[in-house]
Amino acid sequence: MVVAISPGKIILFGEHGVVYGKPCLSVAISLKVAISVEKSDSTKINDDPLNEKKHSYISKAIEKLWKEGGGVSISTFSQIPSASGLGSSAALTTACVASLLSMNGKFSLPEVARKSFEVEYDVQKIASPNDTSVCAKGGAIFVSNKRGDNFLWSIEKDGKEWYIHSVELPPMKFVIGNTGAKSKTPLVVKKVEKFVKQSSFAKELLEEMEDIVIEGKKALEKNDYVGLGEIMNKNQKILHTIGASSREIEKLIDITRKAGAYGAKLTGAGGGGSVIAISDEPEKIVKEMRSRDCDAFVVSVAKEGVKVWS
Ligand code: PMV
């Protein structure tokens, strides 16, 4: 039997833009997904027969990576709320791909990142390799269309190439607020795509977001929480304008800022899901948010990415 554990993620800056090759900065978080895989006569997921719709990511990973006869019996356990912008699908995919690659004797982090991206892309029909790469690597990553310092690996698709770099992070904590509304990633990504294809204004906004990601990376490297918060607020304004926000997200962000956060924004595709906020007193912000009936908690950085034991 093989067991794999993968962290979830938050996107600090640059979601949506990264689908078009723009830069993005994301962080692996302390919420995790665990999966165990063993050979079996038939394929079962948590004791149920494999269902392509219900188990879309696992089913696609098996289709791509399990070439032996017979099946696999898979059990999953997740601490990550689903459809919340916290990387539940990416972590599940990465853990599943890592397990199957390890069973085939082909495990390496770049291979896990590449194959996991292919799985996400095939299921969602539109995606960037950001989420699966940060789950594979752990810590923080910077994705760009140019190769720079601390380069890890690159991933290509449909004429686009994403260069993944590692970013040094101090031990940080983030406030998470969950709206409780599901974030339907493929729907929101397609909605934004329509806007980007039809409007030069949307393209200008994505270019503006490019500068924000670079500015945010500098603030992060300087450990400047106040600067980070301001830049997160600027990023949120753009995400709102391109149609990725929602009434629930804006309300939660407002509560978070009033509770004393330096800045807050949605994480992931949006349209629901979670918001992230920065403060040097994250527990205090969470307490304030909870007193206003919000589902809020603190996460720390997961230094390690996906791990496999056999
Ligand atoms: O909604 P999530 O957590 O799967 O994040 C999606 C992030 C996007 O940039 C919107 C899409 C992508 O694949 O990068």
Euclidean distance between CA atoms 133 and 24, whole angstroms: 12
pLDDT score, position 62? 97
For the chain, give the mean pLDDT. Answer: 96
Model pLDDT for residues 84-120, shown as the tens digit of each residue: 999 999 999 999 999 999 999 999 999 999 999 999 9
Q: What would the pLDDT profile of 119-134 be if each residue is shown by its tens digit?
A: 999 999 999 999 999 9
Contact 12, 26 (CB under 8 A): yes
Percent of residues in the chain assigned helix, strand, coil, to nearest 5: 40, 30, 30
Q: Ligand 1, atom 13: nearest CA belongs to which residue?
A: 127
- Nearest atom in ligand 1 to the alpha carbon of residue 270 is 1
State yes or no: pLDDT of 170 exceeds 90: no
List the 263-266 sheet strands across, edge first.
263-266, 274-278, 173-178, 295-300
Could you tell which of 128, 143, 245 is best to mutate to test the pocket of ligand 1, judged by most ligand atoms within 8 Å of the CB?
128
User: Residue range 188-215: average pLDDT?
Assistant: 96
For residues 239-268, average pLDDT: 97
Nearest to 231 by CA among 249, 211, 247: 211
**Ligand 1 atom with the shortest distance to the CA of 84:** 3
Question: Is the CB of 116 within 6 Å of ligand 1?
Answer: no
pLDDT tens for residues 232-251? 999 999 999 999 999 999 99
Q: What is the pLDDT of residue 97?
A: 98
Report the atom number in ligand 1 closest to the C-alpha of 273.
Answer: 1
Instruction: Please choose from 9, 11, 276 the residue to mutate so as to test ligand 1's pocket, defined by most ligand atoms within 8 A of CB.
Output: 11
Amino acid at 81: P
